Structure 1
Amino acid sequence: MTTLLQRPAVRDDSDRAVAENRLGQRLVAPAVVIMLLVTAWPMLRALYLSGFRYRLTTPDDRSFVFLGNYGTILSDPLFWKDTLNTVIIMVVTVSIELVIGFAFAMVMHRIVFARGVMRTSILIPYGIITVVSAFAWQFTFSINNGYINSWFDWLPFINPDTNWFGDHWHAMTAIMVSEIWKTTPFMSLLLLAGLSQVSEDMIEAAKVDGATWFQRLFKVILPNMRAAIMVAVLFRALDAFRIFDNIFVMTRGAQNTESSSFLTYRQVIEQMQLGMGSALSVLLFLTVLGLAYLIVRMFKVDLAQARGEA
Structure 2
Amino acid sequence: MSSNIPAAGPAADRRPDAPTPRPDSRPRGRKGSDRSRSEARLGWYLAGPAFLIMLAVTLYPILQALYDSLFSLRLTAPDETELIWFRNYQVVLGDPAFLQSLWITIVITIITVLIELVLGFLLALVMHRAIQNLRGLIRTAILVPYGIITVVSAFAWFYAFDINSGGYVNNWFDWVPGITEDLNWFSSQGTSLFVIIASEVWKTTPFISLLLLSGLAQVPGDLEEAAKVDGATGWQVLKRVILPNMKAAIMVAVLFRALEAFRIFDNVYIMTNGANDTEVLSLLAYNTSIGRLEIGLGSAISVLLFLCVLIIAGIAIKGFKVDLAGSTGGK
Question: What's 2:16 paired with?
Answer: none
Q: Percent identity?
A: 56
CA distance in 2, matches of 1:151, 1:89: 26
8, 30, 36: which one aligns with 1:11: 30
Displacement of 1:292 after TM fit?
A: 0.6
Displacement of 1:41 after TM fit?
A: 1.7
CA distance in 2, matches of 1:232, 1:226: 10
Displacement of 1:9 after TM fit?
A: 4.8
Greater Cα shift, 84-93 or 143-152: 143-152
159, 163, 166: which one aligns with 1:139: 159
CA distance in 2, matches of 1:227, 1:61: 52
Q: Which has the larger radius of gyration?
A: 2
Paired AA for residue 112 in structure 2: T
1:69 aligns with 2:77: no
Question: What's 1:25 paired with?
Answer: 44
Instruction: List aligned pairs for 1:186-197, cutoff 5 A.
Output: 186-197=207-218
CA distance in 1, matches of 2:32, 2:229: 33
Count of paired positions? 306
Paired AA for residue 29 in structure 2: V
Displacement of 1:147 after TM fit?
A: 2.7
Instruction: List aligned pairs for 1:103-142, cutoff 5 A.
Output: 103-112=122-131, 113-142=133-162
RMSD in angstroms over aligned alpha carbons? 1.7
3-state SS, counterpart of residue 60 of structure 1:
helix
1:100 aligns with 2:115: no
Displacement of 1:233 after TM fit?
A: 0.7
Displacement of 1:249 after TM fit?
A: 0.7
Which sections of structure 2, spanning at least 5 residues, go unmatched? Answer: 1-22
Displacement of 1:26 after TM fit?
A: 3.9
Instruction: List aligned pairs for 1:142-291, cutoff 5 A.
Output: 142-144=162-164, 145-291=166-312
CA distance in 2, matches of 1:139, 1:35: 35
Displacement of 1:8 after TM fit?
A: 4.6
Displacement of 1:148 after TM fit?
A: 2.4
Show CA shifts across 1:47-67 (max 9, x none).
111001111122111111100
Paired AA for residue 195 in structure 1: L
Show CA shifts across 1:146-184 (max 9, x none).
232233333333333322111111101111011111111
Paired AA for residue 128 in structure 2: H
52, 57, 61: which one aligns with 2:71: 52
CA distance in 2, matches of 1:68, 1:159: 49
CA distance in 2, matches of 1:135, 1:185: 19
Displacement of 1:232 after TM fit?
A: 0.6
CA distance in 2, matches of 1:51, 1:32: 28
CA distance in 1, matches of 2:318, 2:243: 18
CA distance in 2, matches of 1:28, 1:181: 30
